[in-house]
């Protein structure tokens, strides 16, 4: 059994959760292999020194402008995280990751306290996927003086107040603050340049971070990684391990509802958003929070007039629902007119 076959608490999980290698599709279908364990550094100074040494070695080997692929994580890694590292490995000269449980994005102190911290198991997964260096600071290293710091933080603005943000006030502000810090901490020395990898699974987070990079002119290239699903269509998530077999089956309604909207968009038909919501609500084990179609770049909801006509540009459909009592999210990119 490989590290990818285990849930965040490292106990085996059954197929059907979307968390085993047997469930994985796309980048995870191949055998992960056994790569060397990455170096772990817990201070900014030590990490920067190690990264600078990697850049110097790459330049010494004839790479004129090395690229560094960063995968920011909060640990408790599974196959979805590994897909990010694998894509970074395929596209970059140097691959790094961060493992930091960010207190600024937790609304409930109990959730922060109980979040799994499994650095050694995470290190195995990162190494198997091709990561070379890991930045794993404690809270005081990231936020000296916490909980009285940081005093200055980054706001996600109105993009952080809708959808997931409406039920998790301040969450995306915490995400923006920690990611901005990580981009600055891991910025490699010249002539290297930084790329940062995020999963399409967290579509709102990806949209917010793209805006953060653009609005603050941060020297990083954001690279999205496609959402990974089980063969049945369930989006990969560590929360899947908490679902009963009945809820696992019921949760597939999210993908079916999104797939119907994607079929509408592909066919150039108006989007039947009302029918998609009704499909989720008809599942007895599902409690729908939201199902919305929004502008892919701004997260502004499409107007009734836009929904009643074929899409004139790419859009994003997002859904969140609770299944006894696990809250799941999913999304699909809706294509605009064929070019």
How much is the pLDDT for 9? Answer: 39
pLDDT digit string, tens, across residues 272-312: 999 999 999 999 999 999 999 999 999 999 999 999 999 98
As annotated, the active-site residues are 81
**Which residues, 6 or more positions from 21, have their beta carbon under 8 angstroms from its beta carbon?**
2, 4, 5, 28, 29, 31, 32, 79
Binned at pLDDT 50, 70 and 90, residue 115 comes out as: confident
What's the rounded mean pLDDT across residues 227-235? 87
Residue 4, pLDDT above cutoff 50:
no
Residue 22, pLDDT above cutoff 70:
no
What's the rounded mean pLDDT across residues 31-57? 89
Distance of CA 235 to the CA centre of its chain: 12
Best CA proximity match to 154, nearest among 127, 174, 140, 171: 174
How much is the pLDDT for 338? Answer: 67
pTM to 2 decimal places: 0.87
Binned at pLDDT 50, 70 and 90, residue 3 comes out as: very low
User: Which residues on adjacent β-strands are paired with residue 194?
Assistant: 68
Binned at pLDDT 50, 70 and 90, residue 102 comes out as: very high
- The Cα 145–Cα 233 span in angstroms is 44
What's the rounded mean pLDDT across residues 55-61? 98
How much is the pLDDT for 237? Answer: 80
**Which residues, 6 or more positions from 29, have their beta carbon under 8 angstroms from its beta carbon?**
21
- The Cα 106–Cα 244 span in angstroms is 26
Of the ranges 11-20, 141-150, 321-330, the best mean pLDDT one: 141-150
| β-sheet with 326-334: strand ranges across | 287-295, 315-323, 326-334
């Amino acid at each position: 059994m490989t590290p990818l076959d285990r849930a965040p608490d490292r106990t085996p999980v059954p197929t059907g959760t979307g968390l085993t290698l047997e469930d994985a599709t796309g980048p995870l279908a191949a055998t992960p292999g056994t790569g060397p364990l990455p170096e772990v550094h817990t201070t900014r100074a030590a990490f920067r020194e190690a990264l600078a040494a990697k850049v110097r070695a790459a330049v010494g080997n004839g790479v004129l402008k090395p690229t560094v692929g960063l995968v920011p994580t909060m640990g408790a890694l599974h196959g979805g995280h590994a897909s990010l590292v694998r894509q970074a490995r395929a596209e970059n000269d140097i691959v790094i990751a961060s493992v930091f449980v960010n207190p600024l994005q937790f609304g409930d102190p109990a959730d922060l306290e109980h979040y799994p911290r499994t650095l050694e198991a995470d290190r195995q997964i990162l190494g198997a996927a091709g990561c070379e260096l890991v930045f794993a600071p404690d809270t005081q290293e990231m936020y000296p003086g916490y909980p009285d710091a940081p005093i200055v933080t980054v706001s996600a603005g109105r993009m952080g107040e809708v959808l997931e943000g409406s039920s998790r006030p301040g969450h995306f502000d915490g995400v923006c603050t920690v990611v901005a810090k990580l981009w600055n901490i891991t910025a490699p020395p010249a002539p290297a340049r930084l790329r940062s990898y995020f999963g399409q699974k967290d579509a709102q987070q990806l949209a917010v971070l793209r805006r953060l990079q653009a609005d603050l002119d941060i020297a990083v290239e954001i690279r999205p990684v496609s959402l990974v699903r089980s063969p049945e269509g369930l989006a990969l998530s560590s929360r899947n391990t908490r679902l009963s077999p009945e809820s696992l089956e019921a949760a597939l309604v999210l993908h079916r509802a999104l797939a119907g909207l994607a079929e509408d968009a592909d066919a150039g038909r108006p989007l039947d958003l009302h029918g998609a919501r009704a499909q989720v609500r008809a599942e007895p084990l599902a409690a729908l929070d939201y199902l919305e179609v929004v502008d892919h770049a701004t997260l502004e909801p499409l107007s009734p007039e836009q929904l009643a006509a074929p899409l004139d540009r790419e859009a994003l459909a997002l859904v969140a629902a609770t299944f006894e009592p696990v809250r799941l999210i999913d999304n699909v990119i809706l294509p605009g007119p064929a070019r």
